[in-house]
Amino acid sequence: MRKFWIALWRVVTFPFRAIWWLVSRPVRLYKKTYTFLTDEPEDRPITDAFADTVKKPAALLDHLEALRKHLFRMLIALALGILLCATYTTQIIDFLAKPIGGIHALKAIDVTESVGVFMRVALLGGFAVALPYLAFEVWLFAAPGLHARPRRLGLLGIPLAGIFFVGGMAFAYLLLLPTALPFLLSFMGIQTIPRPSSYINFVTGLLFWIGVSFEFPLIIYVLTLMGIVKPPFLVHNWRIAVIVIAILAAAITPTVDPVNMTLVMAPMILLYFLSIGMSHLALIGRKRTVTEAS
């Protein structure tokens, strides 16, 4: 009989409890978010944390489980972005082919060539669309190990990840392609009829890697906040960095002429020195946080 009255009470009070849950939900979310953004973790060197992990490998399982959840959500976001871009992939391909006259200037040879091109463009578009959320998941995974101030700054920097990536792709599309394509299509006076697979692979590869290179300042900023990279290291090794950038530019550059390689190298070198400035700002913020905590 007692179970009957308890069940009846739950049924009668369910609407009131549901209303209370809905009303109090924003307050609970606000408190949880505020605590997460203001909580100060224990400041420990990475070497000590690594040594403790070696002594107690079981402590690593929680981090691996958290990483698995973040990766799973990132895959879902990427899949949704690909599905969204798949609706407009034909228009995107036409936009990418505008420098050579549009999508009708492409001539397919293989039966499955157009399908492969469609999937490649949808994948790149989906990645660009989902990038802010992917950056948010990376921030969620790294945030517990950061101090409160760097944690908030990292959250504010998430939109910049998408802006920098799209900015890199715009730079490649508006500056690199118009200078590279005339040289490639008229080299040695041989008439070139672009195939969808070769042309789209070439364009999307260029857009992707230039977009990724524009993320470098943000990556350095986050690594400095975590104490992995320091500005003196970047300043001391700038010559090596220029050599590495030259090698990467040679690999990314669509042509072998020095003009296009310079067009790729110049912004990458500029981004490297911008990264040094971002690293200095992150180090100042990290020191200020440590001082306030102590």
- Note the pLDDT tens digit of each residue in 79-123: 999 999 889 888 888 888 888 888 887 887 877 778 888 888 899
115-167 tens-digit pLDDT: 888 888 899 889 888 888 888 888 888 777 666 776 777 777 788 888 888 88
Q: In the structure encoding, which two tokens stand for residue 50, read together?
A: 């690594």
Half-sphere exposure of 127 (CA within 13 A, CB side): 14
Predicted pLDDT of residue 168: 86
* Contact criterion met (CB below 8 Å) for 271 and 217: yes
Using only C-alpha atoms, the chain has a radius of gyration, in whole angstroms, of 25
5-54 tens-digit pLDDT: 666 667 667 676 677 767 777 777 767 666 666 666 565 555 555 555 55
Predicted pLDDT of residue 80: 93
Predicted pLDDT of residue 75: 92
Predicted pLDDT of residue 52: 56
User: How large is the average pLDDT for residues 203-221?
Assistant: 83
Predicted pLDDT of residue 195: 80
- Beta-carbon contacts of 74 under 8 Å, excluding residues fewer than 6 positions away, are 130, 133, 134, 137
Q: How many residues does the chain have?
A: 294
Alpha-carbon separation of residue 289 from 4, 77, 206 (angstroms): 57, 33, 40
- Beta-carbon contacts of 282 under 8 Å, excluding residues fewer than 6 positions away, are 150, 220, 221, 222, 224, 225
* Contact criterion met (CB below 8 Å) for 231 and 279: yes
237-283 tens-digit pLDDT: 888 888 888 887 777 766 556 766 777 777 888 888 888 887 777 77
38-51 tens-digit pLDDT: 666 565 555 555 55
pTM: 0.71
